[in-house]
Chain A
Amino acid sequence: MIDEAFLPFEKIIERMLAFKGEIVDDQAGVRSYIYKCEIESPVEFDVIRDEHGALQIGSTPPLYYIDTSFRPAYHKLRFTAELSESVDGN
């Protein structure tokens, strides 16, 4: 099993994209939305094989924020996400 501090890789992407993409200022009458975002983050990986022999990729953003001599191995995740067009093409 993936270490409990880590999430399956697909969950990391999903959660990073789970933001409210709309910024509304009712007073000013302004409505903006995020149409593209680029995320680059150091991540830690826990790569294990499950009981069926399949490779499971667990990942997490840095867990600790204290500078220590025992340095975590930070890999780098980079991705670009763009606003999906809705079904009716808008």
Chain B
Amino acid sequence: MATENTQWQLEDFVDSLVVDLDKTRETLAVKAINKPLSYTVKELALDLNIFPSYDGDRVKFITAQPGQQGASKVTIQLGSITDQQVRATTKIPGAKNDINIDEIEVDKNTKKQLRKLGVSSVGDLKEIEQKNVDLKKVTDNTIDYSALANKIQKSRRDQNRPRVNGVSLSLDENDEPYLLIKGKNLAMDPKFEPVAVVNETLASVMSGSAEEVKIRVTDDHAFGENNEVILTFDPFAVVKLNVKAQ
């Protein structure tokens, strides 16, 4: 026996239904790759026995449960779509570098709004951006896009975290000392110049790339036996290193 049904609004119910059918389509799209005989849902209809109620603001429904008589009937019919539309609109989920909206720390309302717009991943958002669609207008400014953009950048950065493989003290062509930091995914954002602090003193970053960063070291940095180096590659990647002189 099921638990007590909860009240729902038609919009919520259809949203959940569409999300569920999207998941079915995605599963069937994957299945169709290897299985030559697979099926596409063309039309779907639901006859629901429900009890409506109106609270002066919104109409809400509750689905009839066993033993309940006298329910009203609502028919929800989802129209047919062609195979070509399915192929055009259904992408294979889990593209290598794509980030699911659920993995981003954004508020529930934003996620809901994005889902309603058919946006389930960062890749979907990118496609919309490329088509010059102003999502702010579509959603009546209910989504904080600057916060969303930051969260997306953070998620992308989390997938490519900086890794330091080695630090060495070298001399440049003018015999001036500099620290050479080698690693992976270091200074990846061309819009952001890395910032370095050596022994609590700001240091000049001579050059930066994903593989190496060069930091000028002067007498001000009091470079000694134990040194603390803090590197900010971009707003989402900060590394603290303890560098010991040998």
Contact = CB atoms under 8 A, between A and B. Distances in A.
A10 B27 contact: yes
Given A52-B108, A71-B67, A83-B37, A47 B46 contact: no
Nearest to B80: A80
Given A10-B23, A48-B5, A72 B63 contact: no
Interface stretch (B8-16, B132-140, B152-160): B8-16
Interface string A71-90: 11111111111111111000
A49 B6 contact: yes
Given A9-B20, A48-B5, A75 B40 contact: no
Nearest to A48: B6
A75 B48 contact: yes
Contacts of B28: 14, 17, 84
B3 A3 contact: yes
Contacts, number: 137
Interface size class of A (residues with CB under 8 A): 35 or more
B38 interface: yes
A75 B63 contact: yes
A57 B16 contact: yes
Interface string A35-79: 001000000111111001111111000000000001111111111
Interface size class of B (residues with CB under 8 A): 35 or more
A17 B42 CA distance: 12
A72 B65 CA distance: 7
Interface of B: 1-3, 5-6, 8, 12-13, 15-17, 20-21, 23-24, 27-28, 32-33, 36-49, 62-68, 71, 80, 83, 86, 108, 112
Given A10-B23, A73-B49, 16 more contacts: A5-B2, A17-B41, A53-B108, A57-B17, A71-B67, A73-B71, A75-B46, A76-B46, A77-B44, A78-B43, A78-B44, A78-B47, A79-B43, A79-B44, A80-B44, A84-B28
Interface of A: 3, 5-6, 8-10, 13-14, 17, 20-22, 33-34, 37, 44-49, 52-58, 70-87
